């Protein structure tokens, strides 16, 4: 789970962690990066990937509630499944697909997306082959092959990093994330900046001689067309916003 989702109310995410995706709808910035990367790969493979609707990415509490109440009723329905919500038993209407109760769906966290026509053989086979490369999982497979959930938290897969170039810095939620401590400890600021761009996954300890930090600097430089070393020059600082 991305760190900036800790403590948020599902369905009531701050705008700062959400990002609009092409075609409509929003996702958590980590899921948006992964989704956009996967859509691009599919396109390169001659396959179109799109959400079932713009409401099937991030879903606010209110839209989950509206969707839930359009599918579930308090009047008992024989032979269908039930959900407990607000202390009552709700019955699924005949012919309706199941839906999580408001606040309980991964869609309320912005880390799930439903893929249109996921069951078509060609698309299904492509998804089976590729979703893991982008950090998605099918926890409800095979009953809901369209529902993908991001499971890599704040650690994008190599395929996602390759797509974003580490350049699409996540929107940092200042309410929960420490600001880059410029001027306090430049080494920590460097690690934090690399972390924000998805290149560094370790602790912000100010020790930049660790192999992990050195590799992160090198990967960032290579990705930006600079020399394949871990020397932090003015250009690197500029690209990292460290000045």
Chain residues binding Zn ion by CB under 5 A are 114, 147
Residue 228's beta-bridge partner residues? none
Sign of CA dihedral 194, 199, 203, 206: negative
CB of 147 to Zn ion, least distance (A): 4
CB of 8 to Zn ion, least distance (A): 19
Task: Copy the structure tokens of residue 150.
Answer: 């991001």
Q: Rounded to whole angstroms, how far apart are CA atoms 47 and 45? A: 6
Q: Rounded to whole angstroms, how far apart are CA atoms 136 and 118? A: 14
Q: Please identify, using beta-carbon distances, which residue of 4 and 114 lies nearer to Zn ion.
A: 114
Q: How is residue 147 annotated by DSSP?
A: E
Q: Rounded to whole angstroms, how far apart are CA atoms 149 and 114? A: 9
Mutual orientation of helices 211-223 and 186-196 as an angle, nearest 10°? 60
Q: Rounded to whole angstroms, how far apart are CA atoms 119 and 144? A: 9
Q: Please identify, using beta-carbon distances, which residue of 102 and 198 lies nearer to Zn ion.
A: 102
Task: Copy the structure tokens of residue 243.
Answer: 């000045």
The residue number with the shortest CB distance to Zn ion is 147
Q: Please identify, using beta-carbon distances, which residue of 148 and 240 lies nearer to Zn ion.
A: 148
Q: Please identify, using beta-carbon distances, which residue of 19 and 147 lies nearer to Zn ion.
A: 147
CB of 39 to Zn ion, least distance (A): 17
CB of 175 to Zn ion, least distance (A): 27
CB of 194 to Zn ion, least distance (A): 33
Q: Please identify, using beta-carbon distances, which residue of 32 and 171 lies nearer to Zn ion.
A: 32
């Amino acid at each position: 789970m991305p760190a900036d989702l800790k403590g948020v109310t599902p369905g009531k995410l701050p705008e700062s962690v959400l990002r609009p995706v092409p075609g409509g709808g929003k996702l958590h910035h980590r899921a948006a990066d992964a989704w956009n990367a996967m859509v691009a790969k599919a396109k390169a493979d001659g396959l179109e990937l799109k959400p079932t609707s713009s409401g099937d990415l991030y879903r606010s509490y209110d839209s989950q509630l509206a969707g839930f109440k359009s599918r579930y009723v308090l009047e008992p329905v024989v032979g269908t499944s039930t959900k407990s919500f607000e202390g009552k038993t709700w019955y699924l209407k005949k012919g309706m697909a199941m839906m999580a109760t408001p606040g309980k769906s991964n869609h309320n966290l912005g880390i799930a997306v439903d893929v249109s026509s996921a069951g078509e053989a060609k698309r299904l086979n492509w998804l089976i082959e590729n979703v893991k490369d982008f950090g998605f999982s099918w926890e409800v497979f095979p009953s809901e092959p369209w529902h993908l959930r991001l499971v890599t938290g704040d650690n994008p897969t190599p395929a996602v990093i390759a797509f974003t170039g580490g350049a699409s810095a996540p929107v940092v939620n200042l309410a929960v994330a420490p600001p880059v401590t410029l001027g306090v400890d430049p080494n920590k600021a460097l690690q934090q900046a690399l972390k924000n761009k998805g290149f560094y996954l370790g602790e912000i300890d100010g020790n930049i001689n660790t192999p992990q930090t050195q590799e992160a600097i090198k990967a960032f430089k290579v990705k930006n067309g600079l020399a394949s070393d871990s020397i932090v020059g003015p250009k690197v600082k500029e690209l990292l916003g460290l000045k």
